[in-house]
Structure 1
Amino acid sequence: MLHCPRTFARTIAFSGLFLATVVTPALAADPTGDWKDADGFANIRVAQCNGNMWGAVVWEKTPGGKDKNNPDPAKQTRPTLGMPILIDMKKKVGADAWEGQVYNAKDGQLYSATIKPVGIDQLEIQGCVLGFLCGGQTWTRVGPPIPVSAADNPAAKRAAPKAGASQKTTGSVAPASKPGQKPAANASGDTIGDICLLPDIAHPTRAPE
């Protein structure tokens, strides 16, 4: 019978542990959490709502923004804070990517889009007009991944405490964050909380125009 030297066996075991450590994050790509856009003008909170990924503005560099470029006059005065940006993104079969629509407040238009986590700290957004004229940007993580919202989890709804009891919304970012990251949610000044409870996401009638 062939026997491996003890040092060689230890090397194999260590290599296996190293590979498991490296591969696991790639298998657990998670687009949820708070992300700073490429221009640094806003933070977008991404969460699983209504079974798919949604993203909404939860912080603005310049407070008080309005959706002034929306082609619908009725929406041109709505605040950009809390406005959905990533619309009903569905998981792409066989890939760590989600497909849906992205709303561009700069021109008030919707674009077909794909989001894809790159490592654990970047999120690629690729948008196209009619399948061409594609462009995109990379967002940087500023808050940790978040669990499924209680608003989107029937079991969590049944287990939710009664009115008056202390309750933590699970669709907002957990207070813990990595060293060097600012706590993006449940922190002072976070007025959005669970984006799954926003009217445009909880009860969407149609995508933004």
Structure 2
Amino acid sequence: MKRSWMCASIFSVVATAAFADPIGEWRVADGTAHIQISRCGQAICGKIAWTSDPGVDENNPDPRQRGRKLLGLPILTVKPNGANSWAGTIYNARDGQNYAASLAMRSEKVLRLEGCVNGTNICGEEDWTRVR
């Protein structure tokens, strides 16, 4: 009897760990892009995997980077920040700005992104939906 309880407990821990993992492809709230999140060393990184407007990074404040294609553009770097949460930075190609970012798993299929103007309490949040 003890053995089956222990196996069930181990399965529960493994299932929870899988639930807490943002690795995969996510559709942003307005549906205009998919972000592929993967591991990059100790951090988690995201890049634009699909976009409804596959242009270039024309709003980048660095003129040398304005010709970069949006498709494949790295935009997110975060590190673990507690259980089921990560903190770091995100780049918004729409306005060419970097923001303080935090990610938190809301469920297996929903990832909450919060972005804040660096050094302020001006923040916004949205839920991303898992595609894969």
* TM-score, with length taken from structure 1: 0.55
2:125 counterpart of 1:136: yes
Q: What percentage of aligned pairs have identical amino acids? A: 41
Structure showing the higher strand proportion among its residues: 2
Match for 1:123 among 86, 91, 111?
111
2:47 counterpart of 1:56: yes
Q: Structure 1 unaligned segments of length 5 or more: list them.
A: 1-12, 144-209
Match for 2:67 among 43, 56, 77?
77
Q: Structure 2 unaligned segments of length 5 or more: list them.
A: none
Match for 1:91 among 73, 80, 85?
80
Give the greater-gyration-radius structure (CA): 1
Match for 1:26 among 16, 20, 25?
16
User: Partners in 2 of 1:37 and 1:92 — Cα distance?
Assistant: 22
Are residues 71 and 139 of structure 1, via their aligned partners in 2, closer, same or farther at CA, if it must alter by over 3 Å?
same
Aligned letter for 1:105? A
2:89 counterpart of 1:101: yes
Q: 1:135 deviation in Å?
A: 0.6
Match for 2:100 among 85, 104, 112?
112
User: Partners in 1 of 2:126 and 2:25 — Cα distance?
Assistant: 16
Q: 1:20 deviation in Å?
A: 7.9
Moved runs in structure 1, 4+ residues, more than 2 A?
A: 19-28
